[in-house]
Chains A and B, each alone.
Chain A
Amino acid sequence: MPLYWFLGPLAGLLGVGCYALVGSRRPRSDAIVYGISFLCSVLALGASLTHLLTAPAASTLTLPLGLPWSGVHLRVDALSAFFLVIVNLGGAVTSWYGLGHGRHEQAPERVLPFFPAFLAAMNLVLLADDAFTFLLTWEFMSLMSWALVMAHHRQAGNAHAGYVYLLMAGMGTMALLLAFGVLAGADGGYHFADMRAGLLSQQAAALVLVLTLVGAGSKAGLFPLHVWLPLAHPAAPSHVSALMSGVMTKVAVYGFMRIVFDLLGEPAWWWGAVVLALGAVTAVLGVLYALMQHDLKRLLAYHTVENIGIIFIGLGLALAFQANYLNDGAALALSAALFHVFNHSLFKSLLFLGSGSVLSATGERDMERLGGLIHRMPWTALAFLIGSAAISALPPLNGFVSEWLTFQAILISPELPQWLLKFLVPAVGAALALSAALAGACFVKAFGITFLGRPRTPAAAQAEETDTRSLTALFVLAALCVLAGILPGLVIDALAPVVASLNGAVRLAAQASQPWLTLVPLAEAKNSYNGMLVLLFIVFSGFLSALLIHRLASRDARRGSAWDCGFPDDNPAGQYTAGSFAQPIRRMFGSVVFQARERVDMPAPGDLRPARMTVSLRDPAWDYGYLPLIQVVNTVAGRLNHLQFLTVRRYLTLVFSALILLLLGLAIWR
Chain B
Amino acid sequence: MYGLVFDIAHMLAGGMVVVSFLLLYQDRLYALLNTYALHALLLALVVSWQAYSHDAPHLYVTAGIALIFKAIIIPVVLHRIIQRLGIQRTIEQVLGVGLNMLVGVLLVALAIIVMLPVTAASEALVREDLIFALSIVLLGLLMMITRRNAVSQVVGFMSMENGLVLAAVGASGMPLVVEISIAFSVLIALIVIGIFLFRIRERFDTVDVQAMDAFRGERP
Please list the residues of chain A having a beta carbon within 8 angstroms of any beta carbon in chain B.
Answer: 645, 647-649, 652-653, 655-656, 659-660, 663-664, 666-667, 670
Q: Hey, which chain B residues are within 8 Å of A670, CB to CB?
A: 117-118
Stretch at the interface among B59-67, B72-80, B123-131, B140-148: B140-148
CA distance A643 to B94 in the complex (A): 21
The one of B107, B110, B138 in contact with A667, judged by C-beta atoms closer than 8 angstroms, is B110
Cβ B110 vs Cβ A652 within 8 A: no
Contacts A648-B209, A660-B110, A670-B117; A653 near B145 (Cβ below 8 A): yes
The one of A645, A652, A666, A667 in contact with B141, judged by C-beta atoms closer than 8 angstroms, is A652
Cβ B145 vs Cβ A645 within 8 A: no
CA distance A667 to B213 in the complex (A): 36
Cβ A652 vs Cβ B209 within 8 A: no
CA distance A423 to B174 in the complex (A): 65
Cβ B117 vs Cβ A649 within 8 A: no
Q: Hey, which chain B residues are within 8 Å of A666, CB to CB?
A: 114, 118
How far does the Cβ of A207 sit from chain B's closest Cβ, in whole Å?
28
Cβ B113 vs Cβ A649 within 8 A: no
Q: Hey, which chain A residues are within 8 Å of B117, CB to CB?
A: 670
How far does the Cβ of A96 sit from chain B's closest Cβ, in whole Å?
55
Q: Hey, which chain B residues are within 8 Å of A660, CB to CB?
A: 107, 110, 138
Q: Hey, which chain B residues are within 8 Å of A648, CB to CB?
A: 209, 212
8 shortest interchain CB distances as A-B pairs: A667-B113, A647-B213, A652-B145, A653-B145, A667-B114, A656-B141, A663-B114, A652-B144
Q: How large is the interface on B (under 10, 10 to 19, 20 to 34, 35 or more residues)?
A: 10 to 19
Cβ A647 vs Cβ B218 within 8 A: yes
Q: Hey, which chain A residues are within 8 Å of B84, CB to CB?
A: none
Specify the chain B residue showing the minimal Cβ separation from A664: B110
Main SS class of interface, A:
helix
How far does the Cβ of B161 sit from chain A's closest Cβ, in whole Å?
15
Main SS class of interface, B:
helix
- Pick from B117, B144, B212 the residue with the most CB of A within 10 Å: B144
Cβ A659 vs Cβ B148 within 8 A: no
Q: Hey, which chain A residues are within 8 Å of B218, CB to CB?
A: 645, 647
Specify the chain A residue showing the minimal Cβ separation from B217: A645
How far does the Cβ of A669 sit from chain B's closest Cβ, in whole Å?
11
Cβ B110 vs Cβ A647 within 8 A: no
Taking A649-B145, A653-B145, A667-B113 as given, write out 10 further A-B residue pairs in contact, using a Cβ cutoff of 8 Å, ordered by the A residue number.
Answer: A645-B216, A648-B212, A649-B144, A652-B141, A656-B141, A659-B138, A660-B107, A660-B110, A663-B110, A666-B118
Interface residues of B in 129-185 (CB under 8 A from A): 138, 141-142, 144-145, 148
Cβ A656 vs Cβ B110 within 8 A: no
Q: Hey, which chain A residues are within 8 Å of B113, CB to CB?
A: 667
CA distance A43 to B118 in the complex (A): 57
Q: Hey, which chain B residues are within 8 Å of A647, CB to CB?
A: 209, 212-213, 216, 218
Specify the chain A residue showing the minimal Cβ separation from B137: A659
CA distance A454 to B98 in the complex (A): 92
B91-103 CB mask vs A (1 if < 8 Å, else 0) is 0001000000000
Enumerate 5 A-B pairs (CB-CB under 8 Å) in ascending A order: A645-B218, A648-B212, A649-B148, A655-B141, A656-B142
How far does the Cβ of B60 sit from chain A's closest Cβ, in whole Å?
31
How far does the Cβ of A642 sit from chain B's closest Cβ, in whole Å?
10
CA distance A659 to B107 in the complex (A): 11
How far does the Cβ of B197 sit from chain A's closest Cβ, in whole Å?
14
Q: Hey, which chain B residues are within 8 Å of A652, CB to CB?
A: 141, 144-145
Interface residues of B in 174-220 (CB under 8 A from A): 209, 212-213, 216, 218
Specify the chain A residue showing the minimal Cβ separation from B147: A649
How far does the Cβ of B133 sit from chain A's closest Cβ, in whole Å?
13
How far does the Cβ of A99 sit from chain B's closest Cβ, in whole Å?
54
CA distance A655 to B157 in the complex (A): 14
Q: Hey, which chain B residues are within 8 Å of A653, CB to CB?
A: 145
B13-37 CB mask vs A (1 if < 8 Å, else 0) is 0000000000000000000000000
Q: Hey, which chain A residues are within 8 Å of B209, CB to CB?
A: 647-649
CA distance A670 to B94 in the complex (A): 33
CA distance A664 to B145 in the complex (A): 19
Specify the chain A residue showing the minimal Cβ separation from B94: A649
CA distance A664 to B138 in the complex (A): 13
How far does the Cβ of A49 sit from chain B's closest Cβ, in whole Å?
53
CA distance A649 to B213 in the complex (A): 10
